[in-house]
Amino acid sequence: MKIIYLHQYYNNKNMSGGTRSYEFAKRLVEQGHEVHLITAWRGRGRGHDWFKTNDDGINVHWLPVEYSNHMPYNKRIKAFFKFAFGAAKMAVKIGGDIIFATSTPLTIAIPAAWAKFKLGIPIVFEVRDLWPELPIAMGALRNPFAKFIAKILERFAYFNSRAVVALSPGMKEGVIKTGYPRKKVAVIPNSSDTALFDVDQEFGKLFRQKRPWLSNSPILLYTGTFGVINGVSYLVDLAVEFLQINSNIKILVIGDGAEFDFVVDRAKNLGVLEVNFFVEQGIPKSEIASALSAATFASALFIDKPEMRANSANKFFDALAAGKPLVINYGGWMHNLVIDNNCGVAAWKLPLDQVAFELNEKSQNPEWLSMASQNSRDLAYSKFSRDFLSEKLNSILVCAASNYEVNAEEIAPDIFSKRTIN
């Protein structure tokens, strides 16, 4: 089967950021499919024309479209549409048996629908965030007409698809609220790459040796985007609380984004920068495994918005794969997973001083650390294995391409929550 895989923000294993599309596409190639991944080159130095690479058997077609989390929202919108129109032409040129389009942004539906119309092949659409609910909640999408168009585009994306893949139970419910049939919606969360992250402890020791300021202190690690929605400054305030109780926990944050300078400046102004709060800019995902190996706790952070509680953050599943206790500061299905599986500290709605005290106590409790670490690892292998979840996606794509009615809910049901989602 020839698969046209559309993803504007694709990253391969040597790039910073989420690699879900790379990992799933690689496994689709291993299943015998021919995969053509159409994406954007977001940096500079590649001119303006398409170029092609091969990533472990994946045919990757890159269109240079400058994009950064630092860009104003109107420039990001222009980048979305520039890629959408270029990708539409490339998808038709390549041809195939099925289109797999993954958001965000929702404008990825434009090249998917155009290729469907021109080639007469079906679409399976993947929902990574609930757009436009999220940008509306963040105030990034304010114009009433723009909101209207975004909601139309959302329905257009779903109702032109033979099946929809949602990355969380909450996202599935969001899709169903538009009137899209429940049985056509699968739940395939971000997954735990146990092969990459479940590594020997020597990797962690080497990571610490290269950073002598970490010494043998417990480490609370954050890796990911420094966006407004991530609220990384939460950890700056937590570092202040650690100092007040004389905790020896050190916080290491690794990443980049619109709020990087703000976080650094806030840490400097509050007197924690390079005292018990340390910052590094993005490193390749292959090196994140060593950072996680060195960590005592790993964190997943978002500002407290109801629209964020359905998210499926990569860093959460990376931490599970590494067998690390999680610190999560937002509600929703992942908050419930931490509580139900006793694999970390659910800090949502807790005062910062209480969070600091609890983490300090647990950092000195080898029995609890061992238990929580094992519970994280068990959860990664039992429910979030990348091989297991990629099989679900493969089944949905094969089914959709065969022109049979797709019962995506039966292929990939919600097996990830034991309780009602907060």
CB-CB neighbours of 49 under 10 Å: 8
Q: Where are the beta strands (DSSP E) in 48-184?
A: 51-55, 58-64, 98-102, 123-127, 163-166
Q: Find the domain containing 169 and state its range.
A: 2-190+385-411
pLDDT value at residue 129? 82
Q: Are residues 208 and 180 in the same domain?
A: no
pLDDT value at residue 419? 52
For the stretch 195-231, pLDDT in tens is 889 888 899 999 999 999 998 999 999 998 898 899 9
Residue 307 clears pLDDT 90, i.e. is over it: no
C-alpha 196/C-alpha 182 separation (Å) is 34
Bridge-based pairing state of the strands 51-55 and 58-64:
antiparallel
Q: Is 46 inside a domain boundary?
A: yes
Q: Is 86 inside a domain boundary?
A: yes
pLDDT value at residue 420? 43
Q: Is 421 inside a domain boundary?
A: no
Q: Are residues 177 and 273 in the same domain?
A: no
Identify residue 390 by its one-letter amino acid code: S
CA distances from 176 to 154, 179, 186, 307 (A): 12, 5, 11, 15
Mean pLDDT of 363-385: 96
Mean pLDDT of 378-384: 94
pLDDT value at residue 69? 66
Q: Are residues 143 and 282 in the same domain?
A: no
Rg, C-alpha atoms of the chain? 21
- Greatest mean pLDDT among 10-19, 66-75, 110-119, 143-152: 110-119
C-alpha 35/C-alpha 103 separation (Å) is 18
pLDDT value at residue 215? 86
Q: Is 420 inside a domain boundary?
A: no
Q: Are residues 94 and 130 in the same domain?
A: yes
Q: Are residues 372 and 403 in the same domain?
A: no
CA distances from 38 to 32, 85, 287, 398 (A): 19, 12, 26, 20
Q: Are residues 350 and 403 in the same domain?
A: no
Q: Give the CATH number, domain containing residue 325.
A: 3.40.50.2000
Q: Are residues 177 and 228 in the same domain?
A: no
Token reading at 261: 């300078």
**Residues found in the chain:** 422
Q: Is 418 inside a domain boundary?
A: no
Q: What is the percent of the chain with per-residue pLDDT over 70, rounded to a whole number?
A: 96
pLDDT value at residue 82? 92
C-alpha 96/C-alpha 261 separation (Å) is 44
Q: Are residues 331 and 220 in the same domain?
A: yes
C-alpha 170/C-alpha 193 separation (Å) is 23
How many domains, the chain? Answer: 2
Q: Are residues 151 and 261 in the same domain?
A: no
Which residues 6+ apart lie within 8 Å of 126 measured at CB? Answer: 100, 101, 102, 103, 164, 165, 166, 167, 188
pLDDT value at residue 150? 81
Q: Is 422 inside a domain boundary?
A: no
C-alpha 317/C-alpha 297 separation (Å) is 13
Q: Is 226 inside a domain boundary?
A: yes
Q: Are residues 332 and 272 in the same domain?
A: yes
Q: Are residues 164 and 200 in the same domain?
A: no
For the stretch 394-407, pLDDT in tens is 999 999 999 778 89
- Greatest mean pLDDT among 45-49, 140-144, 147-151, 223-227: 223-227
Evaluate whether 167 touches 190 at the Cβ level (below 8 Å). yes
pLDDT value at residue 24? 96
Q: Are residues 144 and 261 in the same domain?
A: no
Q: Which residue has the higher pLDDT, 121 or 130?
A: 121
For the stretch 264-305, pLDDT in tens is 999 999 999 999 999 998 777 668 899 999 999 999 999 998
